[in-house]
Amino acid sequence: MNDTAKIAVAPHRGHPLSGTTMTGSQMIVQVIADEGLTAIFGYSGGAILPTYDAVFLYNAERARQGLAQLPLIVPANEQGAGFMAAGYSRSTGQVGVALVTSGPGATNMVTPVRDCMADSVPLVVICGQVPRSAIGSDAFQEAPVAAIMGSVAKHVFLVTDPTKIEATIRTAFELARSGRPGPVVVDVPKDVQNWTGQFQGQGTLQLGIYRQRMQALADNRLADDQAQLFFDALKQARKPLVYAGGGVIHAGASTQLREFLETFGLPAVTTLMGIGAVNTYDPLALHMLGMHGTAYANYAVDDCDMLIAIGARFDDRVAGNPGKFAPNARFIAHIDIDPAEINKVKTVQWSHVGELPDALRALTAWGRRHHIKPDYSQWHAEVAQLKHTYAMNYDRNSELVQPYYVLEEINRITAGEAIISTGVGQHQMWAAQYCDFREPRQWLTSGSMGTMGFGLPAAIGAQVAHPDRLVIDVDGDASIRMNLGELETVTTYNLPVKVMVLNNIGDGMVRQWQKLFFDGRMASSDKSLHKKDFIKAAQADGFEYAVRLERNADVPRVVAEFLAFPGPAFLEVMIDPDAGVYPMVGPGQGYDGMITGPCIPARKAAAIEKPGASEMF
């Protein structure tokens, strides 16, 4: 709540509209525009209508002046708006904005808000609310947004003092992007939107303790004695390995990480959310580790004697059994922006809490000043051998279309340059395993929440942000169903998004678990009796290119046509329904128990053990 907060006025910067009389809604829109956004996403409704009207008026005035407008992209459902804003944010690093109405409009945003919180994605959600006089009366389309969102968002504001609306919106952006990023929700009663006052063009709410914490993080530079302890350990190591997470990308630290790796010759693995932090074409890049990581990445983690975790949190998809994770690492170092992550899962011998770019620059500079040039040639040779011996592979002689083959073909054509979003399930893991990424923010996926239906709207948000880039949604037949209505959004705005559905006629990941751990009982995961014709659905929504691919011989030609089509394109690939995601580390298992499947070698045969009663999916 912010009705008791004071406003901290920043030094005057001469905003051209300072002193102009505006409604609360116009102030909301002006602050959003001042943040430099190129689009917002949302669905209208009674309680947010004043702000929608303000967007219309803002764009009309910009058009009159011959200036760029602020497009408002309208989805089929508010959840779609949230994931579009998240896709915009994940692909740009900017704060995404979703604008929705009260009641069901706000509650439909709960999943995207939690998804962004779980993956540390900066988002500002502005919800309409019933007038202040009606709050608590069970008015039409009223919902207790502050209570609902308070448990899933980084922060929630309910604006009860209209004089603070401008400062509140500006503060929401600050909170969303600073420190560990996350979603901030602003609940704005309709009468506050209609209030009229003077636009200040400056000022934020006073957040004394929070800003002190942020300043302390910024000031907490890596000291020389810390750097010396780190390099003392590194000089003793023979098999050091960097474990990079999504925090590297959120911090904009990929350049500093790559310089650090190159300077000291360190191989690296990345988490699902860290994909792109390291150029996957680099010889020392070992790709993704974890439950469905590459076998060579996981074996490298088992073999390393020093592990350097950067912007990663040892989550259960990576360290399902913390006691067995990196068992030979005598020294673990951890750098993160969030002190809560240090020693939370795995005890470390060295840590630093602060901003990643500064910390990595400081380490690199210290090592150069002291001429640290370790010789890891033997370890490099071992890494190369791991990548060769335990390479990703599949049945290349199968008569059925294999999803891996399709993704390899996409990867061959795009050469690591495409922006790829995914839904959640087997297709998500296959894309992570078989696609390359040269830069950060090319890989958009729902990691911690694992939200099905994420892929299509996230791709839309990314395409809006990058109109000239190739954006591909790699989706599954079950996942895309959850936000299938957004196909129409693609064609409504004539976005050249490429939507590919790998159709195995069911919930593939669930079926894989049912086969392995539930004696093959396909409880509610088989969709063979469902009647969805995805091609007709895409055509009905205006896709001129809508093709079904069913034969191996057609894969190269059809994939090339699909990617080259100049507008929206839809491709359904009927894949082998028994294709599995391998490698796989069962819940609670160490990497030494990794199941590599029928086509990837393993160091030892893995026994398939049923998860215990408390083991996670």
Q: Is 141 one of the annotated active-site residues of the chain?
A: yes
Q: Which of 149, 509, 584, 594 is catalytic?
A: 509
Round to whole Å and give the CA distance between 614 and 617: 10
Catalytic residue among 56, 140, 378, 536: 140
Sign of CA dihedral 392, 334, 177, 424: positive
- In the set 27, 94, 164, 190, the catalytic residue is 190
78 catalytic residue (yes or no): yes
Number of other residues whose CB lies within 10 A of the CB of residue 556: 14
- Catalytic option among 22, 78, 264, 452: 78
96: which strand partners? 123
Nearest to 434 by CA among 287, 550, 273, 274: 287
607 DSSP assignment: P
Q: Is the peptide bond before 457 cis (omega within 30 degrees of 0)?
A: no
Rounded Cα–Cα distance for residues 489 and 99 (Å): 16
Question: Which DSSP helix (H) or strand (E) runs through 106?
Answer: helix 104-107
- Catalytic, 534? Answer no
Count CB neighbours of 180 within 10 A: 18
Q: How far is CA 256 from the centre of its chain?
A: 20
Exposed, middle or buried by CB within 10 Å (0-12, 13-18, 19+), for 400? Answer: middle
Q: How far apart are the first and last CA of the chain?
A: 37
Is residue 173 part of the annotated active site? The answer reads no
What contacts 505, CB < 8 A, 6 or more positions away?
Answer: 477, 526, 527, 528, 530, 577
- Tell me how far apart the alpha carbons of residues 272 and 293 are, in angstroms, rounded to a whole number: 8
* Angle (deg, nearest 10), helices 356-369 and 224-236: 70
Told to judge if 522 belongs to the known catalytic residues of this protein, a careful annotator would answer no
Catalytic residue among 35, 69, 141, 231: 141
Pairing of strands 7-8, 204-205: antiparallel
Catalogue the active-site residues. 78, 140-141, 190, 509
